[in-house]
Structure 1
Amino acid sequence: MLNGDRHRTIAFCLLSYRPDHPAGVERSLAALMKGLRQLGHTTLMLAAGPSQAADAAEPDLVRLTSLQLPCPATNDDVRSALTDPIPVAAEVSAVLAERGVDIACWGDTLWGLGYLNAAPPEVRTALMVHKIRPAGDERWLRALAKASVVCPASAYLAQEGAEAGWDTSRWRTVPNALETMPPAVLGAERELLRRDGPIRIVSRVEPAKGLAELIEAIPPGWNRPVELVLAEADFEFWPGMQTDVIDACRAAAARWPGLITIRPALSWHQVPPYLAGAAATVISSTEPETFCFTAAEALSAGTPVVGFDHGNVPLLTGAAGRVVPLHGGADALWSALKALLDDPAAYHAAATAAPRRVAAHTPAAAANALLAAVDNAPPRSNRVTVPSPAVSGSSTSH
């Protein structure tokens, strides 16, 4: 073994998972799987059916036959598919047993089946946390109680859980990792980008990303190209949500003919080099980001980040960009961006600092953190517990 550890088989579960899915939880788990494989371990991913053509890109992917979801799916679709959870729990437990799984990682309370905790009794389990759920969410309570260890994906999330009053004594942070880190663009090439390079924004399509509002707030006289990559996910919070956001972005962009370009989704590996060719990126999320992969990937390439002063973005960015008060709205983002671009010394200081902000976020580091978290957790004493079909409570995903 590369890390001196015994060989293990680690399973992950996320119903919405597919290769290149433009969502943070998927990217987090993919990087963890990569890191575990680098350390010499075996991984597999359990996802909902039906199978997709893109599945061939992920040889460790197992599609569940007992649970089928439409695309895109909503939380209601998942809850409906789990009205009787017994067949799903039985299939998950059987797959884990057949594959000789040592550790099972539930990617989410609902979408990652954390509340079912369907693992054989000898298997240790980790609940991967990417969002703190409300106290009234019964599935969240069950998932927390049953997992061997609870693993928030950032120090920000761990702190948020503690501040919300949760018992975090069994919580161990497993920081998100970046699958790909391109060479940082600095020096003379970075100066050319500062002067004339485009603003590039890569985002999943969701209202809380603040994308249409950002475009609408472009200040008079702005003449630098703005490129917006809109990535549609296989889930949405209500039917038609993504179509509504895309339509709003296109309507706002139409007011700036020739200045705003809206592009389709990129693959995971295409995003870092794409952001490397930007003068800067903007994170306009009006709800706190619990990690923010696109900010981290921009930083890894030496591209400064401008965002609001909430969530994990300020903690990631530090001196490698600018943050503004949320109450200042999108206008404040554009003002901060312009000030940074107009100040060569400040801009290059931010660009130079950027790669160091995320250098520790490697797949191997995340994998080692996960293994340490599980190894230091007390053994599970409970056997497989399947909630009754009438379980109440709500859960949002991703």
Structure 2
Amino acid sequence: MNAQIPAKTVAFCLLSFRPDHPSGVERSLAALMEGVRQLGHTPLVLAAGPAQAGDAAEPGLIRLSSVQLPRPATNDHVLAALADPGPVVAEVRSVLAERGVDIVCWGDTLWGLGYLNAAPPGVRTALMVHKIRPDSDQRWHQALADASVVCPASVYLAQEGAQAGWDTSDWRTVPNALLMAPHPVPEAQRERLRREGPIRIVSRVEPAKGLAELVAAIPPGWNRPVELVLAEADFEFWPGMQADVITACRAAAERRPELITVRPALSWREVPPYLAGAAATIISSTEPETFCFTAAEALSVGTPVISFDHGNVPLLAGPAGRAVALQEGAGALWAALEALLADPAAYQAAAAAAPDQVARYTPAAAASALLAAAVSDPPRLGIASSRPNLGTVAAPPTGP
């Protein structure tokens, strides 16, 4: 236990949370909860009902009876469920009071109930930030103003907030963390993978992940296996979005059935060992990733990462990755990959550098940062009111 901070009960809130949910926010909260436990504190997580198969894997999971969502849900479903927020606020406050919660972390402005300010009096609150919301989002303004502390999940996000014109001077970064410690593949095995290993891509299905375009851009002369793990989340931006992406990916894969395999989702702890058996992975997101767990998990096992040159991925990968200009398109990703695989020295240098790029992203470190931020004095007040008038920020996709 952290000797400087007495034992605390720390609650997290994210309506879409379930164990092994293929979403970065869920993985972020799961790692924070693991770190809270490692430090000797007690974590809880509040999520929407109804109960789901597999809930027992997280003993701190509490399903709210006042919020029932379909699977998958859209923003409209959440807004409808919260049209009368009174019962939700009452239930959340009751649960937090009954459990003696000391700190509550809203996992998102809407899906994490950050804008409702439902904590009992005296309970410290942290707004977890995984996206910078547009200036026009009044819930975001409310969540920022009400939180005791605002905690972006990466240094990149904090910088993005500042560049968008928000006063981030009292934000406190609580970095995302990996559930499993780095475990790189030995050099000899890594060399075999360089020569003949498959390319493995693990992703939540979403148009901005660029998956179908990536598969369609595989060069005609490509001759090694490509494995695509497609994970459906419990939320989507519009009804049928995920089915459309999967259909497009399968159609692209059918052009090269001898090489391309489409696989179902993996559990959180299955992803790193799966990526350990890859020559490399590709992050083809056409919108900037604000952290990117799949990239971090690949790096943790020594698997190089190819990506576009925006967002957090190039910063995360550093010398363990290769980045190409977004405007060059998906074909450039394959060209960068081919060049890396063809250069044994460069490939081994990238693989050797990879684990160190993510070694600091441990559950205990993340939880320590959260606790330090949440118990700091004096509490921050109303940062939304101090935002300079620098125009609006482009609206991000909906969803958590």
Normalising by structure 1, we get a TM-score of: 0.96
Instruction: Tell me what 1:396 maps to.
Output: 398
| CA-to-aligned-CA distance 1:329-380 (integer Å, 9 cap, x gap) | 1011000000000000000000000000000000000000001111225348
Q: Which amino acid aligns with 1:61?
A: L
Q: 1:68 to 1:395 in 2, by over 3 A?
A: farther
Q: Which amino acid aligns with 1:148?
A: S
Give, in whole Å, the separation in 1 of the partners of 2:378 and 2:96: 20
Q: Which amino acid aligns with 2:370?
A: L
Q: 1:310 to 1:349 in 2, by over 3 A?
A: same
Q: Could you tell me whether the CA contact under 8 Å between 1:201 and 1:227 is conserved in 2?
A: yes
Q: Does 1:170 align with 2:148?
A: no
Q: Could you tell me whether the CA contact under 8 Å between 1:126 and 1:150 is conserved in 2?
A: yes
Q: How many Å apart are 1:170 and its aligned residue?
A: 2.4
Paired positions, count: 388
Q: How many Å apart are 1:121 and its aligned residue?
A: 1.4
Q: 1:381 to 1:225 in 2, by over 3 A?
A: closer
Give, in whole Å, the separation in 1 of the partners of 2:201 and 2:148: 38
Q: 1:341 to 1:360 in 2, by over 3 A?
A: same
Q: Could you tell me whether the CA contact under 8 Å between 2:13 and 2:47 is conserved in 1?
A: yes
Instruction: Tell me what 1:14 maps to.
Output: 14
Give, in whole Å, the separation in 1 of the partners of 2:7 and 2:150: 22
Q: How many Å apart are 1:396 and its aligned residue?
A: 2.2
Q: Could you tell me whether the CA contact under 8 Å between 1:181 and 1:297 is conserved in 2?
A: no
Instruction: Tell me what 1:328 maps to.
Output: 328
Q: Which amino acid aligns with 2:339?
A: A
> What is the correspondence of 1:199-348 to structure 2 with a 5 Å cutoff?
199-348=199-348
Q: Which amino acid aligns with 1:375?
A: V
Q: How many Å apart are 1:182 and its aligned residue?
A: 4.7
| CA-to-aligned-CA distance 1:100-156 (integer Å, 9 cap, x gap) | 000000000000000001001110000000000000001000000000000000000
Give, in whole Å, the separation in 1 of the partners of 2:262 and 2:230: 7
Q: Could you tell me whether the CA contact under 8 Å between 1:14 and 1:47 is conserved in 2?
A: yes
Instruction: Tell me what 2:69 maps to.
Output: 69
Q: Could you tell me whether the CA contact under 8 Å between 1:9 and 1:43 is conserved in 2?
A: yes
Q: How many Å apart are 1:186 and its aligned residue?
A: 3.1
Instruction: Tell me what 1:81 maps to.
Output: 81
Q: How many Å apart are 1:99 and its aligned residue?
A: 0.3
Give, in whole Å, the separation in 1 of the partners of 2:379 and 2:181: 36
Instruction: Tell me what 1:147 maps to.
Output: 147
Q: Which amino acid aligns with 2:155?
A: A
Give, in whole Å, the separation in 2 of the partners of 1:53 and 1:380: 40
Give, in whole Å, the separation in 2 of the partners of 1:309 and 1:45: 35
Give, in whole Å, the separation in 1 of the partners of 2:375 and 2:305: 36
Give, in whole Å, the separation in 1 of the partners of 2:349 and 2:119: 49
Q: Which amino acid aligns with 2:223?
A: N
Deviates more, 1:316-325 or 1:1-10: 1-10
Instruction: Tell me what 1:388 maps to.
Output: none
Instruction: Tell me what 2:115 maps to.
Output: 115
Identity, % of aligned pairs? 76
Q: How many Å apart are 1:260 and its aligned residue?
A: 0.3
Give, in whole Å, the separation in 1 of the partners of 2:75 and 2:378: 32
Q: 1:238 to 1:339 in 2, by over 3 A?
A: same
SS in 1 for 2:116: coil
Q: Which amino acid aligns with 1:57?
A: A
Give, in whole Å, the separation in 2 of the partners of 1:91 and 1:45: 14
Q: 1:65 to 1:395 in 2, by over 3 A?
A: farther
TM superposition outliers: structure 1 runs of 4+ over 4 Å: none
Give, in whole Å, the separation in 2 of the partners of 1:255 and 1:316: 33
Q: Does 1:53 align with 2:53?
A: yes
Give, in whole Å, the separation in 2 of the partners of 1:352 and 1:381: 45
Q: Which runs of 5+ in 1 are unaligned?
A: 383-392
Give, in whole Å, the separation in 1 of the partners of 2:304 and 2:397: 34
| CA-to-aligned-CA distance 1:151-209 (integer Å, 9 cap, x gap) | 00000000000000001122100010000135201310000000000000000000000
SS in 2 for 1:44: strand
Give, in whole Å, the separation in 2 of the partners of 1:172 and 1:4: 19
SS in 2 for 1:87: helix
Give, in whole Å, the separation in 1 of the partners of 2:72 and 2:321: 35
Give, in whole Å, the separation in 1 of the partners of 2:166 and 2:106: 19
Q: Could you tell me whether the CA contact under 8 Å between 1:229 and 1:265 is conserved in 2?
A: yes
Q: Could you tell me whether the CA contact under 8 Å between 2:154 and 2:291 is conserved in 1?
A: yes
Give, in whole Å, the separation in 2 of the partners of 1:226 and 1:139: 42
Q: Which amino acid aligns with 1:374?
A: A
Normalising by structure 2, we get a TM-score of: 0.95
Q: 1:167 to 1:2 in 2, by over 3 A?
A: closer
Q: Could you tell me whether the CA contact under 8 Å between 1:127 and 1:151 is conserved in 2?
A: yes
Q: How many Å apart are 1:282 and its aligned residue?
A: 0.1
Q: Which runs of 5+ in 2 are unaligned?
A: 383-394
